[in-house]
Structure 1
Amino acid sequence: MTLPTYKRWQQTSIINALKSRRVLILAGSRQCGKTTLAKEIASEDAIFRTLDDVTLLDAALSDPHGFVHHNDNLMIIDEVQKAPVLLQAVKQDVDTKQTPGRFLLTGSANIQSLPGVTESLAGRVRKIRLRPLALGEIAGKPPQFLENAFQGLFQIDDSMSANDDYSLKDQYLLKAIGGGYPEALRQESTRESRRWLMDYLGALMERDLQDIINIKRHDSMNKLIEVLAAWSGKFMDASAIGSGLSLSRPSIVSYINALEALYLVERVRPWLKTDYERVSKQDKLFMTDTGLMSAILRWRFEKVQLDGERNGKLIETLVFTQLAAQIDAQDEDYQLYHYRDREKREIDFVVENEDGDVLGIEVKAGSVVKMSSFKHLIWFRDNAMKENNFIGVVLYTGEHTLSFGDGLWAVPINSLWA
């Protein structure tokens, strides 16, 4: 059987970065495709060393400067977080030999978050984030949603349409349950995919997590992960998250930080660029892969299809993963936020471009959009966006792209990857 291959959106950015930067860090969760992409980019004379190899890891820890010594070709060091001591050796090497493209480091944990790491490689390094596969990468489509949306242009995925078996909403749920880990997508059934995802999580908890934090209560950590999966899309509140768990608040915070360092959960910051005094300053918390989220919560399609709370949470998290992947793939600097104030006006996602223009996005799991669906977007436009351009979008599970006047649009969710 021929396994599917996917062209990653970051490939061109990595190639270009290696032409100008001495060190490139390709960061992202385990099994999201970093090693595969690094090997695809590397030329035949590149040196590849993975620290998953026990012998190579021991050599790196014993003689870091000898380990990184090489001529002018590219050296790829895979899973560099296993030997943070290499960062100082890399710094010394690239300070001596200042040609670009000397090192491509891949890491399944945020290296700067590891205990004892003091070397940042500031001024020498560029960091590129690789996520699990976006639906646009699976479909072979370029990441054009944000560029188009800021111009009020929207395309839709013509391959998606309601049929006798599945509504459009059903199809979004199925895509969300599948997630974006390449190996999970290659499994022959949903059951096998879910089993792979749980084995993957178990391996992270048993090995990778220990590199970041000393877990004394593994049972509580496992319960916390399940709570966080159910918390996806909600506001960060460590006390509420920890209720029912026999962990102190500081432990909850440190455990969540460790899971962030492994790229399993992520925060979306609040949009605060307003003189309105009653804006909330809480982050929102999201799982970074909807397939893993569904596996942790044991959500099968039949469980979420008719459960409004569950399918709403799953679809909002799906939209987050697609927006985050789009932003990471752009050369232009986009920032992702959310908005909430004390009058309970909320906007699920606020995307700001380099010019300060804003795209406000509300996510609706239903297939019907009314003018009332735009009330928070309209308030935001009229009160918070007095000087810059604003486009307000309701992403929904219907079929048609519809104007609701003055920069307001109802748009099918599949526009994210069309």
Structure 2
Amino acid sequence: MPQFQYSRWQQHIISKALQSRRVLVLAGSRQCGKTTLARAIATDVTVYRTLDDTTLLAAALSDPHGFVRHGDNLMIIDEVQKAPVLLPAIKQDVDVQQLPGRFLLTGSANIQALPGVSESLAGRIRKIRLRPLAQGEIKGVPAHFLPNAFAETFLPDSSLQATGEYSLKDRYILLALRGGYPEVVRQSEEREARRWLNDYLNALLDRDLQDIINIRRRDSMVLLVEVLAAWSSKFMDIAGIGTGLALARATIQTYINALEALYLVERVRPWTKTDYERVSKQDKLFMTDTGLMAAVLRWRFDKVRLDGEKNGKLLETFVFTQLAAQRDAQEDDYQLYHYRDREQREVDFIVENEDGDLLGIEVKAGSAVSKDSFKHLYWFRDHMAKSKRFVGVVMYTGEHVVPFGAGMWAVPISVLWGA
């Protein structure tokens, strides 16, 4: 394997899906590895076309039907959001040629969110999400955390150790500050990594965002991104987010939707499968990469390690990025939620599997856990889960897997990628 070439969890999912589906969309933020993965799937007979090539883009816009016409082999179209006019042409093609494996499209923006797009390819398309590298992908470990957790099997990363210079919590913070963009992961210099992330964000705001929305005030969008980075892991509150931005509420919501379409921020829905009237229905907001989050906020290691609020926010967002990547890499269906009620009882993450079993996860930035750390998990088990099977987990920055009663566990954060 070439240096810095990582095996992506979605590769086997895509290869299998191409055997039964006519059109696949591999979606994710720019520079998360979509093109590399698409090329890894391509064979000698695959037709590969990237719309980053200005000539190919002009051809696609000029003659969409001619552009997508090809034989019986797979056609890969990279950055398809640049030419939404291709979607009706693709629909016509796959309605005539009803064979699986016709098209693999990659997109750095949610195609359905683009202005003027009315063709959904409903019934013909499957969307597969690719995120920045998860720690398990960097280490070459399968995505087995979720099935293991429901089976109450927890495997920490034994190679993650405290050193004379860094505590175990420090090591987690350093991983989170780096994030998962492949270009950043391969950087040895922290300063260069930060510079790349800042350049990356500027390029998105100056170019890609313009394909989705007309931004009249770039300075306001820059400030909004900074506010959203600081808001990561908090509950959605447009009024609070807009404080000091001098933007109308509707504009803020439109801008946030655009950033979601570029896969820079993401919402986690509330778990509301109960008749308990005091359950909150607010979404939780997260940045999709902790390296980008830290770069936007200009956070440095020494600034974060001793600030409980900062490292708590960073590590909860880091756990979200790993959980979301694990969920997306599963063949089985796992739904990711959070829980909160008006009595201020919260569970950071609730995962539900296909059988309706529930996994509750609390994230603790500290290196010590007590029975009190489980109080909301106990309450949720007894009052919300009821007859459902429930496993409660407190993820912390220590090193031991410790039981705290039936179905309750304190586990190191590294179980998310342990082997």
Q: Structure 1 residue 307: deviation in Å?
A: 0.6
Aligned to 1:199: 199
The residue number in structure 2 matching 1:415 is 415
Residue deviations 1:326-346, cap 9 Å, x none? Answer: 000000100000000000000
Deviation at 1:162, TM superposition (A): 1.4
Alignment-derived partner of residue 365 in structure 1: 365
Query: Do residues 393 (structure 1) and 393 (structure 2) align?
Result: yes
**Structure 2: which amino acid aligns with 1:321?**
T
C-alpha distance after superposition, 1:117-161 (max 9, x if no partner):
011111111110000000000010001111011011101111012
**Alpha-carbon distance in 2 for matches of 1:265, 1:412:** 26
Displacement of 1:265 after TM fit?
Answer: 0.1
Counterpart Cα distance in 2 of 1:186 and 1:135: 13
1:236-247 to 2 correspondences below 5 Å: 236-247=236-247
Task: Normalising by structure 2, report the TM-score.
Answer: 0.99
Tell me the secondary structure at the aligned position of residue 101 of structure 2: coil
Distance in structure 2 (CA, Å) of the matches to 1:394 and 1:86: 47
Structure 1 runs not aligned, ≥5 long? none
Say yes or no: does 1:352 pair with 2:388: no
Q: Displacement, 1:290?
A: 0.3
SS in 2 for 1:409: strand
Match of 1:108 in 2: 108
| TM-score, structure 1 normalization | 0.99
Check conservation: 1:60, 1:86, Cα contact below 8 A. Answer: yes
Aligned residue identity for 1:96: V
Give 1:246 shift: 1.1
What does the per-residue CA deviation read over 1:228-269, in whole Å, with 9 as the maximum and x for residues that have no partner? 000000000111100100100000000000000000000000
| SS at structure 1 position matched to 2:285 | strand
In structure 2, the partner of 1:227 is: 227
- Give the 3-state SS of the residue equivalent to 2:268 in structure 1: strand
Give the 3-state SS of the residue equivalent to 2:377 in structure 1: helix
Q: Please give the residue correspondences for 1:174-323 in structure 2 after superposition, counting only pairs within 5 Å.
A: 174-323=174-323
Tell me the alpha carbon deviations over residues 89-113 of structure 1, each in whole angstroms, 9 at most, x when there is no partner.
0000000101110100000000000
Q: Which residue of 1 aligns with 2:47?
A: 47
Is residue 3–residue 186 contact of structure 1 (8 Å, CA) maintained in 2? no
| Aligned counterpart, 2:324 | 324
Is 1:67 the counterpart of 2:67? The answer is yes
Find the aligned partners of 2:88 and 2:251 in 1 and give their Cα distance.
Answer: 30
Identify unmatched segments of 5+ residues in structure 2: none
C-alpha separation in 1, matches of 2:375 and 2:388: 19
Would you say how many aligned residue pairs link Structure 1 and Structure 2?
417
**Percent identity of paired positions between Structure 1 and Structure 2:** 72
* Native 8 Å contact 1:272 1:279 kept in 2: yes
Residue type of the partner of 1:337? Y
Query: In the TM superposition, what whole-angstrom CA distance separates every residue of 1:75-102 from its partner, at most 9, and x where no partner exists?
Result: 1000000000100000000001011101
